């Protein structure tokens, strides 16, 4: 099994088929999720903007931005579920929700960086455990 098989089915592009600009935009599609540190919903808006801007002109960048968008929507749903769980349990659920939320945050952070690095190398990265809501 190759190293790329662990996160889905990424396909490596030949180096000559992708321009440096397209690889850079693909990387930005992943890294734009870090705009969540400025605005909470930025993790969704950043990849969405890159996908909308590049979907007609740069297919690789658009595909990677869409993958990042789906991953960030999945993470937002998971975090919202933890908040709802905490509210339903009248705050007692925070004892379970906080460590799970911290693990999700670390996973989100690490996987976003991995996705950006792979995209900059010209490798189509697929996030694990992602709901593909945007087709």
Burial status of residue 60 (CB atoms within 10 A of its CB: 0-12, 13-18, 19 or more): buried
Q: 21-40, pLDDT tens digit by residue?
A: 999 999 999 999 998 887 77
Per-residue model confidence (pLDDT) at position 66: 96
How much of the chain exceeds pLDDT 90, in percent?
72
Say how far apart CA 48 and CA 85 lie, in whole Å.
Answer: 28
Mean pLDDT for all residues in the chain: 87
CA separation for the pair 1, 49 (Å, rounded)? 35
pTM for the full predicted model: 0.83
Domain definitions of the chain by residue range? 8-120
**CA–CA dist 130, 104 (Å, integer):** 13
3-class DSSP state of 43: helix
pLDDT in tens, 72-118: 999 999 999 999 999 999 989 899 999 999 999 999 999 999 999 99
Cα dihedral value 102, 105, 109, 115, nearest 10: 130
| pLDDT above 80: residue 14 | no
Whether residue 75 contacts residue 42, with contact meaning beta carbons closer than 8 Å, is answered with: no
Among 24-28, 40-44, 58-62, the minimum mean pLDDT is found in 40-44
């Amino acid at each position: 099994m190759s190293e790329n098989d662990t996160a889905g089915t990424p396909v490596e592009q030949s180096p000559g088929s992708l321009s440096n600009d397209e690889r850079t935009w693909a990387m930005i599609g992943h890294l734009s999720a870090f705009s969540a540190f400025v605005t909470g919903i930025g993790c969704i808006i950043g990849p969405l903007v890159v996908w909308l801007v590049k979907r007609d002109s740069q297919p690789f960048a658009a595909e990677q931005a869409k993958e990042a968008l789906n991953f960030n929507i999945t993470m937002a749903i998971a975090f919202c579920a933890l908040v709802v769980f905490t509210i339903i349990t009248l705050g007692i659920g925070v004892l379970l929700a906080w460590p799970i939320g911290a693990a999700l945050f670390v996973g989100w952070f690490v996987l976003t960086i991995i996705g950006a690095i792979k995209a900059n190398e010209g490798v189509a990265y697929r996030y694990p455990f992602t709901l593909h809501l945007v087709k």
